[in-house]
Amino acid sequence: MVLLREPPMHISEGVLSPPVLAAGWTLAAGALAVGLKKTPVEKLPETALVSAALFLASLVHVPLGPSSIHLTLLGLAGMLLGWSVFPALFIALFLQGLLFQFGGLLSLGVNTAVMGTAALAGYYVFRVFRAAPGRPQFVAAFCAGFAAVITGTVLVCGALFFSDMELKATATLLFAANLPLAAVEGIVSAFITAFLARIMPRYVS
C-alpha cells in the first residue's frame, strides 16, 4: 500500500494517477480564472494575508499513522474571501511544495482544487446559515469550518480511490482521523469569527 507522508489535504507526488492529476489541473485552472476575476485590486491585501495564514497553518501538524493532521483554516478562509480563496491557496500551496515539499508541483492542481472547493463550501454554508432566522453567527461559523474539513476530506478520499484501489484503506483512515479535526476546526473558526466581528465586522458580515 502506498503511504502518504503529507498532511491529509496535501497529496504528495507519485500517489495520484495521471487522469486524476489532469482533472485536478483542469478544475484548478477554471477555479483560478474565476477567483482572479472576482478579486478586485482593493481586496489583494486581504487575500495576501489569508494566503500567508494558510501557508503557516499547515506547517504545524501531528503525525497519525501514514499521514498527519493539522488545522487547515479552510472554512475561515472561505468565509473571508469567497472565490478569491483559490488564488490565495494556489500561492500558499505552491510555496509549501517548493520550500518544504508539502504536496508537490504535479499534484498542485489537485490540492488547489480540493482545498479551494472545501473553502468555498465553508463560504456558502456560512452564508446560508447566517441568513437563516435565529441562526447566530457563532453557529454559522462553526458549521462552515466543519463543512470545509469534511468536504476536503471526501474529495481527497475520492482522488485516492480513483487513483489506486489499494489506497482505499488509507482513504478510510484519513476520513476517520479528520472527523474530530472537523469539530476542532469548527470551534476555532467560530471563535475567530466572533473576534473579527468585534474588531473588523465588515469582513464577516
pTM, two decimal places = 0.85
In this structure, is residue 6 part of a structural domain?
Answer: no
Please report which helix (H) or strand (E) contains residue 69, including its range.
strand 67-69
In this structure, is residue 128 part of a structural domain?
Answer: yes
Per-residue pLDDT of the chain (205 residues; tens, 9 = 90+): 333 444 456 777 778 889 999 999 999 999 999 999 999 999 999 999 999 988 887 776 655 555 556 678 999 999 999 999 999 999 999 998 888 777 778 889 999 999 999 999 999 999 998 877 766 888 999 999 999 999 998 998 888 888 876 666 666 777 777 788 889 899 999 999 999 888 887 777 6
d(CA 9, CA 81): 20
In this structure, is residue 53 part of a structural domain?
Answer: yes
Contact 6, 67 (CB under 8 A): yes
Please report which helix (H) or strand (E) contains residue 116, including its range.
helix 108-131
In this structure, is residue 28 part of a structural domain?
Answer: yes
Which residue segment(s) compose the domain that 72 sits in?
A: 18-58+66-203
d(CA 203, CA 193): 9
d(CA 7, CA 161): 17
| Three-class secondary structure of residue 104 per DSSP | coil
Give first-to-last CA distance, the chain, whole Å.
46
**CATH number of the domain residue 29 falls in:** 1.10.1760.20
In this structure, is residue 10 part of a structural domain?
Answer: no
- As for how many domains the chain has, the answer is 1
In this structure, is residue 24 part of a structural domain?
Answer: yes
39: left (phi over 0), alpha (psi -120 to 50) or beta: beta
Q: How does DSSP classify residue 86?
A: H
Of 48, 70, 75, 31, the C-alpha closest to 204 is: 75
Annotate 36-45 with b (16+ C-beta within 10 A) or e (fewer): eeebeeeeee
Q: What is the pLDDT of residue 130?
A: 81
Q: Output the CA angle 155-159-163, nearest 5 degrees.
A: 165
In this structure, is residue 73 part of a structural domain?
Answer: yes
In this structure, is residue 8 part of a structural domain?
Answer: no
The pair phi, psi for residue 119, each rounded to 5°, is -65, -40
